[in-house]
Chain A
Amino acid sequence: MAEVRLKNITKQFGPLTVIPDISLTVPDGSFTVLVGPSGCGKSTLLRIISGLTMPSDGEVMIGGEDVTFAEPSDRGISMVFQSYALYPHMTVAQNIDFGLRLAKTPAAEREARVAEAARILALEDYLDRKPGQLSGGQRQRVAIGRSIVRQPKVFLFDEPLSNLDAALRGQMRVELAQLHQSLDATMIYVTHDQVEAMTLADQIVVMNRGQIEQVGAPMELYDRPATEFVAAFIGSPKMNLLPGKAIGRDDVKTVGIRPEHLHADQASGDWPATAKVVETLGADTVVYADAGELGEITVRLPGKMRLTPGEQLFLSPERENLHLFDQDGKRMEDPS
């Protein structure tokens, strides 16, 4: 277990700057999720922590030690890859065992650790199989088992669930959360899926174009997004971003309101709109409405509310849940 600290990390690939300058602290024992759209530099950042990629400049500290130039195997980390990267010609047991073997761990201890990992991940019956004979979820577990046995200070996950189908993804998410609780280790997890980020993390790092937009607990990001980008990225359906004139403020460039913080009324309200598409999900109904020059507005309504496309309605935002952003997309304090 250890704290991970990045100081002024930059990374260039030839003339292309992927990460201009990032400093970040991942607290000891936290589950930190790096999230952002494709190409935002989150995977590169993870690879810099792992040692697979060298930063162009800056320092990587793990557990208070400068490991910027250390080999990956000397950093006390382990990594789970998107494609699992299991060794196809080795059995599950050999796959899990491999790192320990290289580290010249005594045979008895190796066996004990493999057995323990297999027990935690329910892989006991598959130890003699080759990866090709396993299902996607089982392969993923083997990849995680390979990490666990090394007893690393920091676990790194590079989009580990994106190759699984939706049902399995949900299940593995729960297993990962349980694993984090039982191991109590520092975990850094990269994903582009904000649902994974919200459900797993104690700390989310939202990245965009190689820069950190905001670092915070999931609900903090949801309740008080620091930038327009975070506002749009976190939450589903997406937050509505409307021009400042929607609330009659010229100093505000953009005003954000989440679909669930809007009220709809057939008789009166702030913004007149026409329902275009109505999605009835049971518990709630999502309405995509056209509000004329304000643009399109998404509203999340209680499931019992029935609307038909083409119907006129009036939308009113909850004043206390308005998010205001200035010209630079930064949050403005005073949602008065």
Chain B
Amino acid sequence: MTRGHLLRNILRVAFLCLVASFVLAPMVATVLGGFKSNAEIRTNAFALPASWNWEFYGSIVADPAFWRYLGNSMLISSVAVVLTLIVGAAAAYVFAQIKFFGSRMLFSYLLLGLMFPFATAILPLFIKVRDVGLLDTWWAVILPQTAFSLSLAILLFRTFFEQLPKELFEAAYIDGCGYVRFFWRFTLPLSAPILATVGVFVFVQSWNNFLLPLVVLNSREVFTWPLGMMQFRGEYVTEWNRTLAFVTLTLVPAIVFFLAAQKYIVAGLTGGAVKG
């Protein structure tokens, strides 16, 4: 290896370390913060704790409420993912496979949804959810969450489905396979990468969503974890160490989900992974 080459590699590694530190530093601070006293967090946020204090983590894990929040979040996110994948894939399949009058307009209309964050629609959303009588139920979060995820899902699915060779459908059609069966037997199994990609986006988005549950959920029974976290915020005192320990523990499922789907995500983002 020449000197120039070595230097370039060192620079490259240094740059990557810098970028990684931007991502990792807050996480490290969060994980470590769960071991510290409130005073120590204020004075020394990033250093190792003076003494490893397990009590905050312990009390959260021992609290049944924590597990209930986690369960609620898990349930809401999972159902939102499943619904988004099924509804989004089915809609995208129609857009990709069938040419019908007004399909382009309808598609553009769906894409408009990309421009709508929750925050802009939160009031009408609340009123609608209230009118339908879903307030304080899981569905109050699941249905809007799914609806808001559909634009991106349909956009990504349609592009992917269109890349599936057309002759594949024709061959199956001659074999006696209709549109619906083709969707279940061919389109979905061949689209694992894009399904995983969209699944992770939706899951993480739903898992971390704070605003929507805050507005539509009122009783502690159905709280998701971001709402549950608020219990450590008093009017005068915020228990940062408990909050950080709580956050650390709730990050775990999202990370696990991401790692499980990671292999497919890379393929999904690069696309065109399927050959006929």
Contacts and interface: CB of A to CB of B under 8 A. Distances in A.
Contacts of A78: 174
A191 B275 CA distance: 23
Contacts of B174: 50-52, 72-73, 77-79, 99
Nearest to A78: B174
Contacts of A229: none
A236 B175 CA distance: 38
Interface string A17-39: 00000000000000000000000
B276 A86 contact: yes
Contacts of B275: 88, 132
B189 interface: yes
B176 interface: yes
A126 interface: no
Contacts of A102: 175-177, 181
A40 B170 CA distance: 21
B176 A103 contact: yes
Interface in B30-51: none
Nearest to A150: B175
Contact of B167 (A85, A89, A103): A85
Do most interface residues of chain B lie in helix, strand or loop, or is the interface mixed?
helix
Contact of B171 (A71, A79, A89, A132): A79
Contact of A88 (B170, B177, B276): B276
A52 B189 contact: no
B190 interface: yes
Contact of A83 (B167, B186, B274): B167
Contact of A98 (B167, B175, B276): B175
A311 to B, nearest CB: 52
A84 B165 CA distance: 11
A89 B276 contact: no
B168 interface: yes
Interface residues of B, number: 18
A77 B171 CA distance: 11
Interface in B157-196: 165, 167-168, 170-177, 181, 186, 189-190
Nearest to B176: A73
B175 A84 contact: no
B173 A84 contact: no
A150 B174 CA distance: 11
Contact of A85 (B165, B176, B177, B190): B165
A83 B165 contact: yes
Contacts of B165: 83, 85
A83 B164 CA distance: 13
Interface string B117-145: 00000000000000000000000000000
A104 to B, nearest CB: 10
A81 interface: yes
B176 A81 contact: no
Interface in B255-276: 274-276
Interface of B: 165, 167-168, 170-177, 181, 186, 189-190, 274-276
23 contacts: A51-B174, A52-B174, A71-B176, A73-B173, A73-B175, A79-B170, A79-B171, A81-B170, A81-B171, A84-B276, A85-B165, A85-B168, A86-B276, A87-B171, A88-B190, A88-B276, A89-B190, A98-B172, A99-B174, A99-B175, A102-B181, A132-B275, A150-B175
